[in-house]
Structure 1
Amino acid sequence: MLSLLTALLMTATTPAPAPEWRTPFEASTGNTTATYAECLAYYQKLAAAYPAQLSLREAGPTDCGQPIHEVVLTANPAASPARRPVVFIQNGIHPGEPEGIDASMMLARDLLQDKKLRPLLEGLTIVLVPVYNVDGMLNRNATTRANQNGPAEYGFRGNARHLDLNRDYVKQDSRNARTFAALFQKWRPEVFVETHTSNGADYQYTMTLIPTQHNKLAPALGGYLQQELLPALYQGMEKKKWPMTPYVNPIGETPETGIVAFPDLGRYSTGYAALFNSIGFMPETHMLKAYPPRVRSTYDFLLTVLETVRRQAPQLLAARSAADQQLQQQSAFPLGWQLDESQVETFQFKGYEAGYKPSEVSGLPRLYYDRSKPFTRPVKYFNTYRPVMALKPPLAYLIPQAWGEVIENLQRNGVKLRRLDKGLTGPAETYYIEDFKTSPRPFEGHYLHSAIQLETRSQKQETAPAGDYLAVLGEQGPARRYLVEALEPQSPDSFFAWGFFDSILQQKEHFSDYVFEDLAAEVLRQQPVLRQQLEEKQKADPAFAKDAEAQLNWVYRRSPYYESGHNRYPVLRWQGAVE
């Protein structure tokens, strides 16, 4: 009887490789994924054998000290990326989900050796990151993916700093993310694919898919994604005998309750790609399926993406160009998104009946799926998001030179900054942080802020000293939207939300009650209106009226003695001339 791996390889659309070109996965019984050393050695072997079509180089560092590598596949490596669509495939962000690592090794070889696939090399520029989280891949084990059916050993989700890199695309705490940003900005791909394995419910599908949320793309690109690209990918996978479903993100405990499109914020790969008018995909194989079909379905998905993008190249390039033009003309930018539950689609979902039985651990009811009872039935799909708010950007942002980490992040992500060679004076808007909520526990090394409330103050004459940085909106090109979402505090993945400006939230100077009593009395004598406001608050708020310290602090915060920098967001919304 044929093994599952052998049967899958025999049904592949490409010829079986010669023994010397088999990957560690293909040479095994099907439950083995390549080690980091094996993966790198395989690409080095391909680069040596096919130097005209494949280049391999170190792209930059990771937190563990080992480099990230960049593989470029094309029939003409010297061609400009702008002349053909660029498809950027990244693997191993979570090395315990290694299907993409093994599938891409096979795919790179087949693109070079199978003449039927040569049109893909001629019509596309294919960029591969064989392993993104090198740190986690070197941390090989057999236990941390408790919910997953193979392979026998695999890497770890976190990197050397215990960061989940799929939450690091905007804040870029890791060296891995900084290397990625340089690569992404170098290529600015039309399509970005990052391979994953799912967690969650049980169902019949081997492959699920998270695309960039179409509402977050420019209309030209979002429309193309929904009307042309996604239907072709689903049809292509159906022809390859891998029916797909949208990523199973249920409203309730099981898929029958309805499925919600994944809310891909900028911290995730697909959300980050959208900031630059790139279409992102996260193919997520089902963790309970055996490893060989998970690898093969990933291979076929990547191949289907390449085939479809090449076939639809004119439409894709036209949509991307139109999206870039729309971005430059955009006068208001959404900050935050919420699901529109009034917009519902329905599709036929292939699942398993769910039930409950007593737990052998607790004795309480536990969920289970009965694979002897498959079903196909209509399931609601919620795939529309609406902006929570929209904001008109300023002419420019002015970033004080003191905030070096913010400046470096902006530059790394393609933002064009002018450094002032002399002081600049003019009108600007200043934000003051009125209120916010902070997560009680750290998330990826940060205490995230949310529900941010601002007071905006218009200043006729603000002065920025020489050495500060000006980011002019009209000069940003593809980074225009990224700049707005990074610097507007109310954006859910802004630098403020991630805590980059937390030092402004701490008061640095204080007062001694017995000393400030006399100063406060003098302030009230000189400002009768302030005295009247204090008395009105005393009448309206009995608790305040009984709290001497609160009243003294109230006067202090409205006096000249209170520090002007407390809660003052340091980035100015510049409204003056920019020469």
Structure 2
Amino acid sequence: MNQSLTLLVLFLLSFFLGEAQQIAFELDSHHNRTATYEEVQQFYQSIDKTYTKAKLLSYGVTDVGKPLQLMVLSNDGDFDPSAIRKKNKSIILFNNGIHPGEPEGIDASMMLIRDLLKNNAIPTNVVLCFIPVYNIDGMLNRGVSRVNQNGPESYGFRGNRQNFDLNRDFIKTDTHNSKAFQEIFNTWDPDVFMDNHSSNGADYQYVMTLIDTQRDKLNHVLATYMTENYTKELYRRMEKKGYNLVPYVDFRGENPESGIVSFLENPRYSTGYAALHNTIAYMPETHMWKPFKQRVMSTYALMQDLIDITSEQGERLLQVRAAAKKSVKEQECFPLEWKLDTTTYNKINFLGYEAEYKQSEVSNQQRMYYNREKPTNREIKLYDHYKPTIQIQKPKAYIIPQAYEKITDLLALNGVKLERIKQDTMLTVEMYYIKDFKTISTPFEGHYLHSQVELETKQMDIPFYAGDVLVQTDQEMNRFIIETLEPQAVDSYFNWNFFDAILGQKEYFSAYIFEDEAARILHKDKALSRKFIEAKRQDPLLEKDAKAQLDWIYKHSVYYEKSHLRYPIGRLI
């Protein structure tokens, strides 16, 4: 075959493959259709078979029994994460379909992958990873469930097979989806992460809003670098393409005049989880009431800009991230909880619509609506600074009883180095007692979440046994360790009910028997007797409640179980 004929064959093959790889969004004349799960599968299998620079991988299974897949694009055809790291290449991870009712990223990623491959435009210094659909379970549950959304004509459901919102499951890990995602994340250790979403709420002119990792909460080494080299660049480049960006719109009051509050993504969310790994993270939220075509194309544009910026940053990104990991390894004091600083703010221009009132056709009462005939451009306040309200000095190590296997498995899954104690031993450690906490009255994502935890610290000799787990805090994963194991951290394992068994007593007393013993205890222990009298003096309710008085004496006696309300993880100081 001569050279001209070979080139013609390759051109025709490329042309027909390109046509075959057009997606439902492009084929629909109104651009109001998103791919089904079956169509997504066909597309990615076709890409995998057609291009040597693309590889489709599978990780575990989701709650619906189907594997979580990862499409990797590598310019030199190397798909080994370790080998890629040795070549000083950056890695970007894109996540799609965590909420399948917000499918923009699913369609935008397919088009972007095809175009990068077709145009031989994969950067030489960046490897691109795409999760085609994270919540496969929800995507298969296709219908119309978002009443405040303008298309597409049909889409998936927010909840997964267990009806969990997967963007609340990155710490508690109640789903197989979350376990598989964490395997992907920790295998590839992305330098940059993007989780594609669509918002709901207020109406405004922007097609897309953007959540970036809250910089006060991100490691300080990464925070300024991310803001200057990524966030500002994304704003500039997207504006040039006709897509003005604004921080995620969460008004402090009921309208733009009250100002926007920067979103604080705790580790339960994907971008908050990424921050524990010192990864720069973004969560674009396209506006639900804009046409689906605009939402998809703006997502495409943002992903392309993120790839371009990362390629331009080159090894500088890797150097900054390595410095951040070193900083966390050496860090001594860690914040556990944050509060918005309302005394500090920036001013930004906000492109909105006039909020007006008219009579409701349903209730006949006055109702608010946004008048799209009256666009506005107002200077408003952006509250984007948070201050830590609780901070903790890290211990030398934590010691976890081996009975808490789910915890040790999750730590290991997230790259935490664990050591097993080789023999039974008595150790002097700091132990926490739970003095007080609040619990929500209705379940949130399958849990009765705790908060406002108050602790009492005691130095104690505690027996630990061969097989118990020692977690040293001289690791790059210190933030993950501390924000899960310290009970006062917002998304600690304690707050997610992993330790609720310690909150209940196992032994009690029968009042008619304990009456005589209580009298004997007070008669024998004069100091306790004086303390009891003082407690009644200070608490009138105790003075009037005979059973409460017996309970007070019981809890101050040798009979009261020492493990009640004692957090079982020791802090080795």
TM-score (norm 2): 0.95
The reply to whether residue 94 of structure 1 matches residue 94 of structure 2 is no
1:112 counterpart = 2:93 = no
SS at match of 2:174: coil
Q: Which residue of 1 aligns with 2:522?
A: 524
8 A contact 2:421–2:470 mirrored in 1 = yes
Q: 1:135 — aligned with what?
A: 137
> Residues 204 and 451 (structure 1 numbering): CA distance in 2 closer, same or farther, change over 3 Å?
same
Structure 1 residue 108: deviation in Å? 0.5
Q: CA deviation at 1:325?
A: 1.4
Distance 1:164 1:524 in 2: 54
Alignment of 1:155-554 (within 5 A): 155-459=156-460, 461-474=461-474, 476-477=475-476, 479-554=477-552
- Alpha-carbon distance in structure 2 between the residues aligned to 1:542 and 1:153: 63
C-alpha spacing 1:338/1:17, structure 2 compared with 1 (3 Å): farther
Residue 300 (structure 1) shift: 0.4
In 1, Cα distance between equivalents of 2:509 and 2:133: 55
Residues 358-367 or 558-567, more deviating: 358-367
User: In the alignment, which residue of structure 2 is the partner of 1:81?
Assistant: 85
Paired with 2:67 and 2:378, the residues of 1 have a C-alpha distance of 47
Partner SS state of residue 216, structure 1: coil
CA distance in 1, matches of 2:326, 2:304: 30
Task: Report which stretch shifted further, 232-241 or 405-414.
Answer: 405-414
C-alpha contact 2:89 2:315 (8 A) present in aligned 1:
no
2:150 — aligned with what?
Answer: 149
Q: 1 CA distance for matches of 2:151 and 2:258?
A: 29
* Alignment correspondent of 1:4: none
Q: Kindly provide the CA deviation profile for residues 359-401 of structure 1, in whole angstroms up to 9, marking residues without a partner as x.
A: 1111222110011111112111111111111100111111111
Query: Are 2:439 and 2:449, in contact at CA under 8 Å, matched by a contact in 1?
Result: yes
Listed one character per residue, the Cα deviations across residues 498-538 of structure 1 (whole Å, up to 9, x for unaligned) are 10100110111110001111111221122110000111122
Residue of structure 2 in register with 1:26 after alignment: 26
Name the residue aligned to 1:12.
none
Partners of 1:197 and 1:565 lie apart in 2 by 46
Most deviating of 342-351 and 428-437: 342-351
Shift of 1:18: 3.7
Tell me the equivalent position of 2:3.
none
User: Which piece of structure 1 moves more, 515-524 or 123-132?
Assistant: 515-524
Contact 1:207–1:284 at 8 Å: present in 2 too?
A: yes
The residue matched to 1:519 in structure 2 has which SS? helix
Judge which range, 407-416 or 152-161, deviates more. Answer: 407-416
C-alpha displacement of 1:57: 1.6
Q: CA–CA distance in 1 between the matches of 2:451 and 2:160?
A: 26
Tell me the distance in 2 between the aligned counterparts of 1:281 and 1:287: 18
Show CA shifts across 1:105-156 (max 9, x none): 00000110114x24x2x120111100000000000002x1100000000000
The Cα of 1:228 is off from its aligned counterpart by: 1.9
Contact persistence 1:201–1:255 (CA under 8 A): no
Distance, in Å, in 1 between the alignment partners of 2:275 and 2:152 is 32
1:552 match: secondary structure: helix
CA–CA distance in structure 2, aligned partners of residues 553 and 236 of structure 1? 67
- Amino acid across the alignment from 1:546: K
Q: Deviations over 1:144-198 (max 9, x none)?
A: 1100000000000000000000000111111000000111111111111000000
Name the CA distance, whole Å, in 1 between partners of 2:464 and 2:357.
65
Equivalent residue of 2:216, what SS?
Answer: helix
CA distance in structure 1 between the partners assigned to 2:325 and 2:346 by the alignment: 29
SS of residue matched to 1:68 = strand
1:18, 1:387 → 2: CA distance? Answer: 52
Q: Shift in Å at residue 542 of structure 1?
A: 2.6
Give the structure 2 partner of residue 46 of structure 1.
47
Query: Structure 1 residue 341: deviation in Å?
Result: 1.2
- Tell me by how many angstroms 1:242 deviates: 1.0
State the distance in 2 between where 1:376 and 1:355 align.
16
Distance in 1 (CA, whole Å) between partners of 2:364 and 2:417 is: 61
Give the distance between the partners of 2:547 and 2:33, measured in 1 at CA: 67
Contact 2:396 2:572 in 1 (8 A): yes
2:543 partner amino acid: A
Give 1:16 shift: 12
Kindly state the Cα deviation for residue 255 of structure 1 after the two structures are TM-superposed.
2.3
> d(CA) in 2 for partners of 1:313 and 1:346?
32
Q: Is the 8 A contact 2:89 2:127 kept in 1?
A: yes
What displacement does 1:315 show? 3.0
Who is 2:570 aligned against? 572
Q: Which amino acid aligns with 1:32?
A: R
Deviation of the 1:543 alpha carbon: 2.4
Partner of 1:58: 58
Where does residue 6 of structure 1 map in the other structure? none
Q: Secondary structure at the residue paired with 2:497?
A: coil
Cα distance, 1:498–1:206 mapped onto 2, change above 3 Å: same
**SS of residue in 2 equivalent to 1:70:** strand
CA distance in 2 between partners of 1:413 and 1:21 (Å): 36
Q: Is the Cα contact below 8 Å between 2:18 and 2:118 reproduced in 1?
A: no
Structure 1: how far apart are the matches of 2:398 and 2:118?
A: 51
CA drift at 1:257: 1.7
**d(CA) in 1 for partners of 2:333 and 2:71?**
38
Q: Contact conserved, 1:81 with 1:125, CA < 8 A, in 2?
A: no
- Structure 2 unaligned regions, length at least 5: 1-14
Deviation track 1:267-291 (CA, whole Å, cap 9, x = no partner) reads: 0011111111001100110000010
Q: Any idea what SS the aligned residue of 1:92 has?
A: coil
How many Å apart are 1:229 and its aligned residue?
1.1
SS state at 2:185 partner: helix
CA distance in 2, matches of 1:81, 1:286: 36
- Deviation of 1:17 (Å): 8.8
Distance 1:355 1:394 in 2: 55
Of 124, 127, 132, which residue of structure 1 is paired with 2:126? 124
1:461-498 CA-to-partner distances (Å, cap 9, x unmatched) read 32211111111112x32x21100010000001000001
Aligned counterparts of 1:88 and 1:540: Cα–Cα separation in 2: 59
> 1:255/1:350 Cα in 2 relative to 1: closer, same or farther (>3 Å)?
same
Q: How far apart in 2 are the matches of 1:17 and 1:490?
A: 55
Structure 1, residues 424-471: CA drift from partner, whole Å, max 9, x if none?
A: 332200101011000000000000001101110012x32211111111
CA distance in 1, matches of 2:70, 2:125: 19
Query: SS where residue 211 of structure 2 aligns?
Result: strand
Residues 298-354 of structure 1: per-residue CA shift (max 9 Å, x gap): 000000100011112233222211111111110100001111111111111111111
Amino acid in the other structure paired with 2:47: L
**Structure 2 counterpart of 1:102, one-letter code:** D
The answer to whether the Cα contact below 8 Å between 2:47 and 2:54 also exists between their aligned partners in 1 is yes
> What secondary structure sits across from 1:71 in the alignment?
strand
Structure 1, gaps ≥5 residues long: 1-14
Q: Displacement of 1:76 after TM fit?
A: 2.3
Which shows bigger deviation, 71-80 or 256-265?
71-80
